[in-house]
Structure 1
Amino acid sequence: MKKTILILSLFILSGCVDPFLLSYGGSHLIHNMQYWEHIDTKEEASLKTKNDCFDKVTQNNPFSRDKYGQCLYEQGYRFRTNNLLYCFWYMPEKCKDYNKFR
């Protein structure tokens, strides 16, 4: 047991293993740390709503987070995260793009 802890500690300290990914279980959980919440009802945006905005944004244009966020914002949704590490560690570029839609 001590050898396992020592080996794992060495991997973490060397940078070969991200300790935050170990604690959160991978990218599928990281993706679930962000969501779009309606300002009045406090409900999360449905898949249909998100897909409608995605389709609207990508009609004859490449995807743009700015236009996608604007579409959801105009429908009353605000960008939210349920973990501070999401913006500071995992997806700072996505948060930078969506911060104006909070």
Structure 2
Amino acid sequence: MIKIILGFKRRQGMSLQEFKDYRRDVHAPLLFAIPEAKKIRRFVVSYPVSAPRFPEPSYDAVVEAWFDSLEDMNDLYFCENFRTKVDPDHANFIDLASVGRVISEEIVVIE
């Protein structure tokens, strides 16, 4: 199983609630409307919660998407639909300079 983990901050001037609403109500439907998104096996979005004894979070959201293979992941992220319909929308709610990503092979230690 291959997983991509993306962390990012919201676009400047956007409240956290506006960011969450936009991602859920506008961006997610764009992504899941393209046929290549069917290659995603699991998709999770995490938002930080208040944790007073820990440092401030580096990101406003972390997205995890699982794929059966690196090829399946590439089929999504490098397809014409993603490049022309989904990717351009990121600038509407994400600070693009803040994006961090890790492509990983997930090994479950405790389930």
TM-score normalized by the length of structure 2:
0.30
More helix by share: 1
Query: Relative contact order: is structure 1 or structure 2 higher (C-alpha 8 Å, sep ≥ 6)?
Result: 2
More strand by share: 2
